[in-house]
Structure formats: structure tokens, C-alpha cells
Amino acid sequence: MVAPANGVITANTFGSNYDTVLAGLLGTCGAFSIQACNDDNGGLQSLISFPVTGGATYFLEITSYGGGSGGTLALDVSFAPTPLCGSGPAACRTPTVGGKAYLALTDKADEKDQLQWKWAAGAATSKGEFGNPVTTDQYALCLYDATGLLATLTAPAGGTCGTKACWADKPKGWQYKDEEASPSGITQLQLSAGLDGKAKIQVKGKGLNLPDLDLSMRASPVTVQLQPGSGGVCFGATYSAPALKNDGVQFKDKAD
């Protein structure tokens, strides 16, 4: 099985009518490494759970304990993705110059809600460090204040938006467009590689699918981070009080 993203695979043989041994493997035939193995879990059946990396191929091996003759196998497999946004901000790549990352949030009637985040004058970033969102790497925009995580907005990997692919491969990076703003409000995401001070990211969102943010309750500092599903480089900026504007309807500020 190919892991769709970073996360945890859990498998069990509960319901089988013989004594099972279950293992999770990574690698190729003749060169497997065991990720997890279990014989009995409260009975004669087996349960394993192990972390996986998005895009990697994993195998399950089920045998009969002690070389027994086996029987009827019942196998259940589930996958749980690693949350892209942690409970608090991570250590992320930041702009090289203060005041070059801009955040604007508008909380009106739901259909008029808006979000804009510009990460400019960024630290040196290669196109490869963005991953490949056309195939495997989804992105999450994580919004925090001093109390913790406020909202997560995702741009899934691949997919079709309208009649075109959501993601486009550009010379310096990647571009995401979804006028339907699904699943969580992002309409545009532009990733542009560059030398120190030249890398750029821009995110726009709008409408009913944006998370409902009570802008009157933001506790300084506000932090915005873009996290890749591959667990690679993340990008962020912090906005300390006083904001340029924070009246409960609009929040606007330039990063520290």
C-alpha cells in the first residue's frame, strides 16, 4: 500500500479463526525492514500500528504462529494522517526582512469573509523544497494566536478544480487555483522559489468555507504558517501587537 500522506497505519486480524502473526514492512523483496510486528493482542489475533511517510510503499505480512495450517483470515487496515497544523507554531522559515509578510482577515457575513497572506522577501528556497503538490504534497495554512491553533485551511494535492487541474507546475514553483474555494476556503496559493530575500508565497481565500474566526478575540501574537503534508520545509511569520487594524471585523498587520 502507498501511504497517501504522513501518518499512522493501523492493522489487525481480529475475527480470524486461527493464531496470526502480523508485521508491517518497508523496502523491497529481500531487503525489507520491519516497522512493527505483533503475535497476540489480548487473544490469538494481532494488532500493529506504525508511522508512515507519504508516498512510501508499505507491505503487510500475515503468517500462522508456529507454522500452523491457518484458517479464515479477517484483516482490517486504517490510515490516520498526521495533523498538518500542530497545537502550537513550529520552527519555520521566515522572511529575511521584517514587515515583508502581510496578513489581512475580514469577518463579515460568511459569504464575504476574506483572507490574504503574503510571505515576501523570504529566505532562500528552492523549488524542490516546496515538494510536489501535483502528485502527493498537500498544504495547510495554520493560523495561531497566543492561545494556540485557531484554524486550518487546506489545499489538497492533485485534484480537479472546475474543468482544470487545481495545481499547475510553474518555472519557479507551483500555483493552486480553486474558484469554488473547497474544502476550506483557499482560492489561490502561489509558491515561488528564489534566492535569499526573493522567495515568495501568496495565499488568498474567501467565502462560506473559510473557518469562522472571531477577530475581536485575537490574543497577540498572531502567527501564520504554511505546512506541507510531506513534513518538509514550512514557512511562517509572526504578527505582534499593536496590529495595523484590529476592530473585530478586520485584522490587518505586517509581520515582525
| pLDDT of res. 217 | 61
- Within this chain, do residues 182 and 107 fall inside the same structural domain, yes or no? yes
My answer on whether 122 and 183 are in the same domain is: yes
| pLDDT confidence bin for 81, thresholds 50/70/90 | confident
What's the average model confidence in pLDDT over 212-226?
85
Average pLDDT in the 240-246 region? 92
Same domain, 114 and 204: yes
Q: Are residues 50 and 161 in the same domain?
A: no
Which range in 3-17, 53-67, 179-193 is most confidently predicted, on average pLDDT?
A: 179-193
Cα 84 from chain centroid (whole Å): 4
Residues 128 and 216 placed together within one structural domain of the fold: yes
pLDDT of residue 231: 65
Distance CA 9, CA 1 (A): 10
- Nearest partner of 174 among 154, 158, 190, judged by Cα: 190
pLDDT digits (tens, 9 = 90+) for 82-105: 778 988 999 999 999 999 999 999
- 96: in domain: no
Do 123 and 216 share a domain, yes or no?
A: yes
Residue 88 in any domain: the answer is: no
Res 2 pLDDT > 70: yes
For residues 51 and 227, what is the distance between their CA atoms, to the nearest angstrom?
A: 18
- Same domain, residue pair 17 and 141: no
Average pLDDT, the chain: 91
* Bridge partners, 7 (sequence order): 52, 81
Give 134-163 pLDDT, tens digit per residue: 987 889 999 999 999 999 999 988 999 989
Answer whether residue 6 shows pLDDT above 90.
no
Please report the pLDDT score of residue 62 as a whole number: 95
Q: Does 87 reside within a domain?
A: no
Q: What is the mean pLDDT of residues 210-226?
A: 85
Which pLDDT value is given to residue 23?
96
Is the pLDDT at 214 greater than 80, yes or no? no
Residue at 217 is within a domain: yes
Q: Please determine, for residue 222, whether its predicted confidence score (pLDDT) is greater than 70.
A: yes
Assess whether 105 and 232 both reside in one domain: yes
The domain boundary residue, chosen from 28, 52, 81: 81
The answer to whether residues 58 and 124 belong to one domain is no
The verdict on 133 and 168 lying in the same domain is yes
Its domain, for residue 54, covers 7-81
Is 2 inside a domain boundary? no
The pTM of this model reads 0.74
Residue 93 lies in a domain: no
pLDDT tops 90 at residue 248: no
Residue 69, pLDDT above cutoff 90: no
Separation of alpha carbons 164 and 179, rounded Å: 11
Split into its structural domains, the chain has a count of 2
Structure confidence at residue 135 (pLDDT): 85
**Of 81, 110, 130, which one is at a domain's C-terminal end?**
81
Question: Do 124 and 64 belong to one domain?
Answer: no
Please indicate, yes or no, if residue 129 is contained in any of the structural domains. yes
Domain assignment present for residue 90? The answer is: no
Same domain, 135 and 222: yes
Q: What is the pLDDT of residue 99?
A: 94
CA atoms within 13 Å, Cβ hemisphere of 248: 1
Report the C-alpha gap between 98 and 118 in whole angstroms.
13
Average the pLDDT over each of 45-49, 117-121, 244-248 and give the range with the smallest value.
Answer: 244-248
